[in-house]
Amino acid sequence: MTIGEKVTVNNGVLNVPDHVAIPYIIGDGTGPDIWNAASRVLEAAVEKAYDGKKKLVWKEVLAGEKAFNETGEWLPQETLDTIEEYLIAIKGPLTTPIGGGFRSLNVALRQELDLYTCVRPIRYFDGVPSPVKRPEDCDMVIFRENTEDIYAGIEYEKGTDEVKKLVNFLQDEMGVKNIRFPETSGIGIKPVSEEGTKRLVRGAINYALKEGRKSVTLVHKGNIMKFTEGAFATWGYEVAEEEFADKVFTWRQYDKIKEAEGTEAANKAQDEAEAAGKIIIKEAIADIFLQLILTRPKEYDVVATMNLNGDYISDALAAQVGGIGIAPGANINYDTGHAIFEATHGTAPKYAGKDVVNPSSVLLSGVLMLEHLGWNEAAKMIEDSIEKTIASKVVTYDFARLMDGATEVKTSEFADALIENL
C-alpha cells in the first residue's frame, strides 16, 4: 500500500510530494456514486500522465450521514483537524435539512477552515446540450464570498425568547418601525465586512491578472441593502484602486472622469485602460445581472459577489453550459493555502445509489484540485477526455435526455469511457 505524504505550504508556495495524501469526504445521497466514479478517473489520469511516478493517495475523513452512523457526530473534530493538517481535500455533497435540524455541514466546513473564497468556473464543453443558443459565449469564473452574509446562519426562529429579545431591541432601542409582523417573524442577520469583502475581491483581481481575464464584475443588491451589499461594491472598488492602481480601471473612476470632463473623456480613459491590458472593474445589480448573463454573457468574465448571490448565480450559470452535472468548485483560503474542492450541486437524493448521475462536477472539481497542486498535465488529460467522450455522445442521463442519438450510460460506465479516452 502506498503511503501518501502531506501537502505543505511555505511562504504561500505549495510543496506537493509525488505520492500526495488527499483527505476526501464521500458525501451523502449520490456522493458515493460520483466519488467512486470520479476518483477512478483522477487516479488513472495521474498514473498515465506521470508514468506512475506521481500518485493520489486517498485518505477518507468522515462527515454527514456516514460520520453520524459511525461516530454519532455529523462533523467530527477529527475531520476538521485532518483537513487543517493536510491542507487540501475534496468532498462529495452533504445533505442539509430544510427549515430545522442541524445547520449546513458544507457551510460549517467553509467557516471552520475559513475557506473564504468559493471559486466556480463556468465553461462550455463542445457538444454539451444547453438551453441557450450560444453556450460557448459563457466563460465566467464566480468568486463567491464564502463565510459571511445571510448565509452565515445567524437567525432566530419565530416565537423563541431570542427572537422576542431581538425584535424588542430593534423596536425599542433602534427605533425600527418596519418589522411588518413582529409577533410572527423569524429574523436573520446579514453580516458583510470590509475585511471579508476586500480579501475576496483581492483574490478575484489576482486571479483575473494571473489568468489574463478582462474584467471583474462586482455583483450586489446595494441599492436596497446599502450598508451590506452596497458597502461590498464600495469596498471592492477601494481594494481595486488602492492595491492594484496600475493594473485596473474601475467604473467608479470612469464616473469621476465623466463628471469632471464628460462622457467622451471617460470613454477614452476606459478604451486606453483596455488597450493597456488593465482589468476593468465593473458592477451590476444582482437582479438585472441574472438577465445580463443570459442575454450578453460575453460581457462578463470574473464575477465577485456575496455568499447568497453567488449561490444563486452559480446554479443559473451552470444551467447555461449544460447543467449542474458539470459544475465544479473550490473553497479556498488564499492566505493559509487550505482548500476543499467540491461540486456545485447537492446530494440529488432521488438518484442516490442508482449509479446514474453525472460525475463530471466532482471530477472537474478534482481537475481544479490537480491544477491547484500544479499537476496540470493530468488535469488537461481529463478535460480532453471529457470533451472526447461527450463528442462521441456517450453521456449520463442528464445530457442524454437533451441530445439526439446519445448513448446513455451509467455513472460508473461514464467513468470507464473517460478512462478509456484518457
Ligand X SMILES: NC(=O)C1=CN([C@@H]2O[C@H](COP(=O)(O)OP(=O)(O)OC[C@H]3O[C@@H](n4cnc5c(N)ncnc54)[C@H](OP(=O)(O)O)[C@@H]3O)[C@@H](O)[C@H]2O)C=CC1
Ligand Y SMILES: O=C(O)CCC(=O)C(=O)O
Q: Is 145 an interacting residue with respect to Mg ion (CB under 5 A)? A: no
* Calpha distance 328→342 (Å, rounded): 7
Q: Is 111 an interacting residue with respect to ligand X (CB under 6 A)? A: no
CB-hemisphere CA count at 13 Å for 248? Answer: 29
Nearest alpha-carbon partner for 117 in 149, 154, 147? 147
* Calpha distance 115→377 (Å, rounded): 26
* Calpha distance 190→171 (Å, rounded): 18
Q: Is 135 an interacting residue with respect to ligand X (CB under 6 A)? A: no
72 annotated among ligand-binding-site residues: no
Distance (Å) of CA 5 to CA 8, 86, 238: 9, 9, 41
Q: Which residues contact 69 (CB under 8 A, 6 or more apart)?
A: none
Closest to ligand Y by CB, 324 or 394: 324
* Calpha distance 298→136 (Å, rounded): 9
Q: Which one from 86, 116, 124, 151 is the annotated catalytic residue? A: 151
Q: How far is the CB of 38 from ligand Y (least distance, A)?
A: 18
Q: Is 361 an interacting residue with respect to ligand X (CB under 6 A)? A: yes
104 annotated among ligand-binding-site residues: yes
Sequence-ordered strand ranges (E) for 233-322: 248-250, 279-285, 302-305
Tell me, yes or no, if 133 is annotated catalytic.
Answer: no
Tell me, yes or no, if 214 is annotated catalytic.
Answer: no
> CB under 5 A: which stretch of 60-68, 72-80, 166-174, 304-312 binds Mg ion?
304-312
Name the binder of 361 from Mg ion, ligand X, ligand Y, none, CB < 5-8 A by kind.
ligand X
> Long-range contact list for 368-371, CB < 8 A, 24+ apart?
368/119, 368/121, 368/328, 368/329, 368/330, 368/341, 369/22, 369/88, 369/90, 369/330, 369/339, 369/341, 370/42, 370/45, 370/46
11 annotated among ligand-binding-site residues: no
* Calpha distance 48→422 (Å, rounded): 8
Distance (Å) of CA 270 to CA 222, 251, 264, 421: 24, 9, 10, 45
**C-beta neighbour count of 184 within 10 angstroms:** 9
Q: Is 33 an interacting residue with respect to Mg ion (CB under 5 A)? A: no
> CB under 6 A: which stretch of 10-18, 197-205, 280-288, 338-346 binds ligand X?
338-346
Closest to ligand Y by CB, 348 or 406: 348
Tell me, yes or no, if 398 is annotated catalytic.
Answer: no
Q: Which amino acid is at 131?
A: P
Q: Contacts with ligand Y in 296-315 (CB under 6 A)?
A: 311, 314
Sequence-ordered strand ranges (E) for 17-82: 19-25, 55-60
348 annotated among ligand-binding-site residues: yes
Q: Which one from 18, 126, 271, 287 is the annotated catalytic residue? A: 287
Q: Which one from 28, 33, 149, 311 is the annotated catalytic residue? A: 311
Residue 401: strand pairing partners: none
Closest to ligand Y by CB, 309 or 314: 314
What does the block give as the cell for 236? 471592492
Residue 304: strand pairing partners: 143, 218
Tell me, yes or no, if 312 is annotated catalytic.
Answer: no
Q: How far is the CB of 271 from ligand Y (least distance, A)?
A: 37
Closest to ligand X by CB, 63 or 284: 63
110 annotated among ligand-binding-site residues: yes
Question: What is the x/- site pattern for ligand X, positions 78-107, by CB under 6 A?
Answer: ---------------xxxx---------x-
The DSSP-derived string for 130-162 is -SSS-GGG--EEEEEE-S-SGGG--EE-TTSHH
Q: How far is the CB of 121 from ligand X (least distance, A)?
A: 16
Q: Is 106 an interacting residue with respect to ligand Y (CB under 6 A)? A: yes
Q: How far is the CB of 336 from ligand Y (least distance, A)?
A: 20
Closest to ligand Y by CB, 39 or 361: 361
180 annotated among ligand-binding-site residues: no
Q: Is 64 an interacting residue with respect to ligand X (CB under 6 A)? A: no
Q: Is 324 an interacting residue with respect to ligand X (CB under 6 A)? A: yes
Q: Is 311 an interacting residue with respect to Mg ion (CB under 5 A)? A: yes
CA 89 to chain centre: 15
Q: Which residues contact 128 (CB under 8 A, 6 or more apart)?
A: 135, 321, 322, 326, 390, 399
Name the binder of 412 from ligand X, ligand Y, Mg ion, none, CB < 5-8 A by kind.
none
Q: Which residues are catalytic?
A: 151, 221, 287, 311
Annotated binding residues for Mg(2+), as ranges? Answer: 311
Which residues contact ligand X (rule: CB under 6 A)?
30, 34, 93-96, 106, 324-325, 342, 345-349, 357-358, 361, 398
Which residues contact ligand Y (rule: CB under 6 A)?
96, 104, 106-107, 311, 314, 344, 346
Which residues contact Mg ion (rule: CB under 5 A)?
311
Annotated binding residues for D-threo-isocitrate, as ranges? Answer: 104, 106, 110, 120, 144
